[in-house]
Amino acid sequence: MKYKKKDRQNKLVEMIEETPFITDEELAKKFGVSIQTIRLDRLELSIPELRERIKNVANKNWNEELRALPVEEVIGEVVNLELDNLAISILDIKEEHVFSRNKIARGHHLFAQANSLAVAVINDELALTANAEINFTRPVKVGERVVAKASVIDQDKNRTIIEVKSYVQDELVFEGKFYMFRSAEK
């Protein structure tokens, strides 16, 4: 469906407000226009590029909130965080994350995203991975965006169990259960 410029821009604003981490490529497909048209629309509307939108969300006091590690040590961009409850991060798979011969992401990048998110969600000065049960459910390719969601499923004084599920769009690509040691201080 083709939109007039004003209608497209109004829909663009709505869509970005609903889904702030949508890419220009995804928007171009939805509107049936070029990526350049989307970029020009964003410029006219003073909507920052995706990277800036992610940074703006990530900087919402998380540097002060994170206790077990600094936000810059989390693999991927943290976009949501509720300590001892849940966390979400986004990792865009680039050339440096993949095997050169087949453009498939190296597993340690997906694991690192999930593991660092499991550490970040813990509201403690010390959080270490004691054990992990992981499963890769499909290969991830260069250019894909991985959204990891960590949920605290059990905890006591010295231990926290965190489930992390990673998705490309709505497709599960990685899942893990992380058994975390934490100090007794809170």
Q: Which domain holds residue 19?
A: 5-47
Mean pLDDT of the chain: 88
Question: What percentage of the chain reaches a pLDDT higher than 70?
Answer: 89
Cα–Cα distance for residue pair 139/136, rounded to 1 Å: 7
Same domain, 112 and 28: no
Give how many domains the chain has, as a whole number. Answer: 2
Q: Tell me which of 7-21, 52-66, 113-127, 136-150 is least confident.
A: 52-66
Of 7-16, 76-85, 100-109, 140-149, the least confident: 76-85
Task: Tell me: do 34 and 67 sit in the same domain.
Answer: no
Evaluate whether residue 53 is within a structural domain.
no
Q: Calculate mean pLDDT across residues 130-156.
A: 96
Whether 150 and 82 map to the same domain: the answer is yes
pLDDT at position 113: 97
Instruction: Flag whether 84 is in a domain.
Output: yes
Residues 154 and 65 in one domain: yes
Domain membership of residue 126 (yes or no) is: yes
pTM for this prediction: 0.68
Confidence band (pLDDT; 50, 70, 90) for 71? low
Instruction: Using pLDDT thresholds of 50, 70 and 90, give the confidence band for residue 59.
Output: low
Lowest mean pLDDT segment, chosen from 19-23, 85-89, 101-105, 112-116: 19-23
Q: Examine the domain organization and report whether 70 and 140 are in the same domain.
A: yes
CATH code of the domain in which 142 resides = 3.10.129.10
Banded model confidence at residue 23, pLDDT cuts 50, 70, 90: confident
* 93 within some domain: yes
Residue 15 sits in a domain of what CATH number?
Answer: 1.10.10.10
> Among 25-34, 70-79, 108-117, whose mean pLDDT is lowest?
70-79
121 and 176 together in one domain: yes
Binning pLDDT at 50, 70 and 90, where does residue 61 land?
very low
